[in-house]
Structure 1
């Protein structure tokens, strides 16, 4: 299958019925990532077809859990994952991408411009220096440290009742046990990513 067919088959398997404009933007995002990756090494995955599975479909697998979320911060966002695919799939979702590596923020900015992502904001800097508190319904993280550090970093950003959605592989039992009060793990649904055999989980964290 070509890249377009891999994406469409994956979206169908996930039960996601996206408009054609969103599908084309997702493919354009992969094209841009492949292009930038040749020079800036934004991701270890070099092949565009693999990016569709391991980046796009993996990111979009959490979408059903975000139905009530209107604002989201993606911390340690890297190349914009999962934030950019989520922003493309849900134009009404306000997404802020936060990363301390300038070249990654530069790529995010280019993707925002090229893909006309008016619902995306970008902060280039350390999460500890982000000063907009109590702003978000949710924080996502796909490759950000361990759970205790994530909870400490994300907590100030969240509104009362806000949740952390941490994307992990095998359930990190030690990290879960080390979560500081008042955080606890509310749910650990397994993510079934089309075309990906590796074990994936979403850890949903709440405050007591």
Structure 2
């Protein structure tokens, strides 16, 4: 995918090495080809938008994930693998658990697991028993923060940590208020997309 190659340096700047970028290329090609049959995202979406609005958008948070000490990561509502597959590529020595309800998306993710990322584990629904051993939870374009915390109540109560992809700070503040989190339990981290003038944030949550 030429559009991805053209943006290679941005991914390297956010922490990817050459080997990981080669795997990202393979994933992007699998994703683009499978989308023609499975409609994982809009078939009308240009490759440029996939790269800039989705793949690079996931990569913006890599520096924050690199700061975390974890062995097992969970991604709620992974869709076609963003950010879970990118994180599995970045952290190939870590286990990445994917929770995705859509059968067709799970079908695609299993092909990615077989061909590219053996460190993926794929589940249908979030269950507390399947969060045992998880050190960090992420989600992108999933549900409000209070719902995410309810889905992982026991994990949160036992010093759980989250890095959640979010957009506008105004909406984030409402979600945090609805979740009844104390100010010392979260941090809003601004993310800068070098190609798009859009507001992107990451919310770090930790039970203290």
**TMscore range, shorter length:** 0.7 to 0.9
Q: Is the 8 A contact 1:77 1:141 kept in 2?
A: yes
1:111 aligns with 2:112: yes
Higher-helix-fraction structure: 2
Contact 1:190–1:201 (CA under 8 A) maintained in structure 2: yes
Flag the 1:105–1:140 CA change in 2: closer, same or farther, 3 A.
same
Q: Could you tell me which residue of structure 2 aligns to residue 192 of structure 1?
A: 192
Report Cα offsets for 1:17-41 as digits up to 9, x if no partner: 413x321110111111111111221
* Residue number in structure 1 paired with 2:175: 175
Q: Contact 1:73–1:138 at 8 Å: present in 2 too?
A: yes
Seen in structure 2, the aligned counterparts of structure 1 residues 66 and 17 have a Cα distance that, compared at 3 Å, is closer
Name the counterpart of 1:97.
98
Q: Is the 8 A contact 1:168 1:203 kept in 2?
A: yes
* Alpha carbons 1:151, 1:183 under 8 Å: kept: no
Q: What is the number of residues matched between the two proteins?
A: 203
Establish whether residue 205 from structure 1 lines up as the match of residue 198 from structure 2.
Answer: no
Tell me, in whole angstroms, the C-alpha distance in 2 between the residues paired with 1:78 and 1:193: 21
Counterparts in 2 of 1:70 and 1:7: CA distance versus 1, 3 Å: farther
1:42 aligns with 2:40: yes
Q: CA, structure 1 residues 33+17, in 2 after alignment: closer, same or farther (shift >3 Å)?
A: closer
Unaligned stretches of 5+ residues in structure 1: none
SS in 1 for 2:121: strand
Aligned to 2:53: 54
Q: TM-score, normalised by structure 1?
A: 0.87
